[in-house]
Structure 1
Amino acid sequence: MIWKAVTAAVALALATQVHAAEKKYGTGASDTEIKLGQTSPFSGAASAYSVIAKTQAAYFRMINDRGGVNGRKINLITLDDGYSPPKTVEQTRKLVEQEEVAAILNPLGTPTGLAVRKYLNDKKVPQLFVGAGATLWGDYQHYPWTIGFQPSYQAETRGLRQICADQQAGCEDRAVLPERRRRQGLRQRLQEGVGAGEHRQDGGGGDDL
């Protein structure tokens, strides 16, 4: 579902740049191609997150092999920023001014995303699905060309707290449930035995109940 949403957003970004009457397209789009840019930490301490960019590249290759989006192939250009804001600025400017991409797709990080947010909004280049959980990515009044991707860290924390509370309650229930069942079974057998005229010989066995 996530990747379907990404593909739909790509198509929407293209649609906003089309001048249908003249059959002309905005920067990064043509009859045959949709050119997207991305920055990701292929090097540095956060390089493990580059698997996201690699997965997206593989997904778009699959889409292209199936004919693309309305006949257009998706050309995703991903550059390494090392999770360094100055490097992100440099690489993003390259994507916008040299590669002339239609949009920046799912760049990783709050500090890196903030470093280029104003620049992209001034250029009216969509900054789509920023991979960061800060609440500031919802400031559409001031930065209408920027949209976040994931729940905020605060929302995630509240969700985790509820999950932990539910799991703790579940663990406690599982701990006492076998004993409850054993006691219920003993009561039932005792009642059945008394009803059939049986007599206990052990004095009642009150400790088991």
Structure 2
Amino acid sequence: MHIRRNILKYAAAGLVVSSSLAFGSIAQAQEMPGVTDTEIKIGNIAPYSGPASAYSTIAKTISAYFDKVNEEGGINGRKINFVSYDDGYSPPKAVEQARKLVESDEALLIFQSLGTPSNSAITKYMNMKKVPQLLVATGATKFGDPENSPWTMGWQPNYQSEGIIYGRWIADEMPDAKIAVMYQNDDFGKDLLDGLKTGLGDKADMIVAEASYEVAEPVVDSQVVKLKASGADVFISFSTPKFAAQAIKKAHEIGWDATQIVANVSNSVGAVLTPAGLEASTGLISTAYLKDMQDPQWADDQGAKEWNAFMDKYYPDGDKLSSFTTYGYTVAQTMAHILEQAGDDLTRENVLKQAASMKDVTLPLFLPGMSMNTSETDYFPIEQMQLMKFNGERWENFGEIISGEVGGN
């Protein structure tokens, strides 16, 4: 019997996503905020509105995944109560929502809070309160700093490493190229740009033009036009989905025949390439660490079959073309793994310890050969990627799995 999932609830304080099944009044935690004999309350902050609203698919997928977990009996006998608030990609709003989750909702932890600006705004608070800020949805390098922010941990490959991969590839494959870079003027864009320059090494002067943009800007057309005028034959867009789609479309409109690279966070076919135009997107280069569900090579893959069944049953309105659904599905599995490892010792300290003790953990949608490893000194679970190219319909991986460790090969 199909069970219709309960995903969207509205509250005066902002959009709330709830993945708990029908509980009565939630009992106060006996030993730890957010934990009872029957429930684990997990907080989340996502941009359901604003310039990064395309990412809201991630939180909706996570909510659906926890619906699946709950229907199957929960984690170690406890159901997940997933409480997600909208911050509109606004740092002040993120602070407000973090305080609500920690002080009013008494969540055990905050998981997959999205965006470099929003996570930057709440990190000091979370560490002061000693509340885990786990598997944050940003690859900014500073979120893997256990010495200064021991309660904050990343998940996806960090942006600096991704930039290094692009730089090394260009230096090896296109040594005479002229590069133009558009980047978001925050830690996200700057980390990628720094990594690119590191990867280029003594060939960093291949970058002939740079143009930044602010997230409050409505469009980035002028930046694209300016960069084309530089004469560059490689155009790199270190942008979030809305602006990445605009840049791809504008470059095509003005006839800029350059090799284009788009950041991993903005390579979703459904959320970015389709709005930009598939013809305009043909030939794009990016990176991957998850299987592309549109790639026929995974047609008989067990993990892909499980994901398709999950989408059909628990998130039927979700976009199967969007990589944000495979991302949300896999990061939710990571959180479930950590909680399973914690067992009945659901103190904040032990949950953090388990997050920092992953050894060769692999998940169904990882590219073959990839795994997660963490330690007390390594807060980057995923440090491997593979380059890929868009053929007009789907992404095709090429080359070898590359270590994304800073200073690695």
Q: TM-score range by the shorter chain?
A: 0.5 to 0.7
The one-letter amino acid of 1:124's match is K
**Quick one: which of 104, 113, 130 aligns to 1:98?**
104
For residues 64 and 170 of structure 2, the distance between their equivalents in structure 1, rounded to whole angstroms, comes to: 35
Could you say what the CA RMSD is over the residues aligned between the two structures, in angstroms?
Answer: 1.9
Tell me what 1:112 maps to: 118
- The aligned runs of 1:35-74 (5 Å cut-off) are 35-74=41-80
Q: Does 2:82 correspond to 1:82?
A: no
Write out per-residue CA displacement over residues 84-135 of structure 1, whole angstroms, 9 at most, x where no aligned residue. 0000011111111111000000101111101111111111110001111211
Tell me what 1:26 maps to: 32
For residues 149 and 70 of structure 1, the distance between their equivalents in structure 2, rounded to whole angstroms, comes to: 23
The one-letter amino acid of 1:143's match is S
The one-letter amino acid of 2:86's match is D
159-168 or 131-140, larger mean C-alpha shift? 159-168
For residues 93 and 47 of structure 1, the distance between their equivalents in structure 2, rounded to whole angstroms, comes to: 22
* Consecutive unaligned residues in structure 1, runs of 5 or more: 1-23, 169-209
The one-letter amino acid of 1:144's match is P
The one-letter amino acid of 1:86's match is P
Tell me what 1:196 maps to: none
Q: Does 2:155 correspond to 1:149?
A: yes
The one-letter amino acid of 2:97's match is Q
Tell me what 1:205 maps to: none
Taking structure 2 as the reference length, what is the TM-score of the superposition? 0.34
Q: How far is 1:166 from its partner? A: 7.9
Q: Name which one, 1 or 2, has greater alpha-carbon Rg.
A: 1
Write out per-residue CA displacement over residues 120-153 of structure 1, whole angstroms, 9 at most, x where no aligned residue. 1111110001111211112111211110111121
**Quick one: which of 125, 130, 150 aligns to 2:131?**
125
For residues 139 and 167 of structure 1, the distance between their equivalents in structure 2, rounded to whole angstroms, comes to: 33
Tell me what 1:12 maps to: none
Question: Secondary structure of 2:41's match?
Answer: strand
Tell me what 1:160 maps to: 166
For residues 42 and 136 of structure 2, the distance between their equivalents in structure 1, rounded to whole angstroms, comes to: 14
- Aligned residues with identical type, % of pairs: 55
Q: How far is 1:25 from its partner? A: 2.6
Taking structure 1 as the reference length, what is the TM-score of the superposition? 0.66
Q: Which has the higher helix share?
A: 1
The one-letter amino acid of 2:98's match is T
Q: How many residues align?
A: 146
Q: How far is 1:47 from its partner? A: 0.2
The one-letter amino acid of 1:30's match is T
Q: How far is 1:161 from its partner? A: 4.3
Q: How far is 1:154 from its partner? A: 1.7
Tell me what 2:141 maps to: 135
Q: How far is 1:158 from its partner? A: 2.4
* Consecutive unaligned residues in structure 2, runs of 5 or more: 1-29, 175-409
Moved over 4 A (4+): 161-168
The one-letter amino acid of 2:75's match is V
For residues 165 and 89 of structure 1, the distance between their equivalents in structure 2, rounded to whole angstroms, comes to: 41
Decide whether aligned partners of structure 1 residues 159 and 97 sit closer, same or farther in structure 2, where only a CA change above 3 A counts.
Answer: same
Tell me what 2:279 maps to: none
Question: Secondary structure of 2:73's match?
Answer: coil
For residues 148 and 53 of structure 1, the distance between their equivalents in structure 2, rounded to whole angstroms, comes to: 16
Tell me what 2:376 maps to: none
